[in-house]
Amino acid sequence: MKILLCCGAGASTSLVAEAMKKAVSPEEQKNYVIDAKSYDMFYEVYSRYDVILLGPQIRYKKAEAQKVAGEMNIPVDSIDPMDYAMQDGLKILNFARAMVAS
């Protein structure tokens, strides 16, 4: 599964991405790509991913991102602010998994 995290500058989501990578079991690591990018890069890279998560600070971009990514059936949602602040990698990873499964 390829997961894209986007935020304003990509810095805070990189910390969340690292927490998510740590939550992936060693046996599953080869099956995951978890990247953090600035939303400015969204249009250049979104099509390479299976699911897109937006940082809470740019959740106002959700409808725009859903419209664009939805054309390729790529689910988009924003990360829960508390999970984001706590850098709960496992909870956010499970959220992304559920988005792809539905």
pLDDT digits over 17-63, tens only? 999 999 999 999 999 999 999 999 999 999 999 999 999 999 999 99
CATH number of 2-101: 3.40.50.2300
For residue 6, indicate whether it is catalytic.
no
pTM of the model: 0.94
**Looking at residues 73-81, what average pLDDT do you find?**
97
Rounded to whole angstroms, the Cα distance separating 40 from 42 reads 6
pLDDT band per the 50, 70, 90 thresholds, residue 9: confident
pLDDT at residue 10 tops 70: no
Catalytically annotated residue among 5, 6, 7, 79: 7
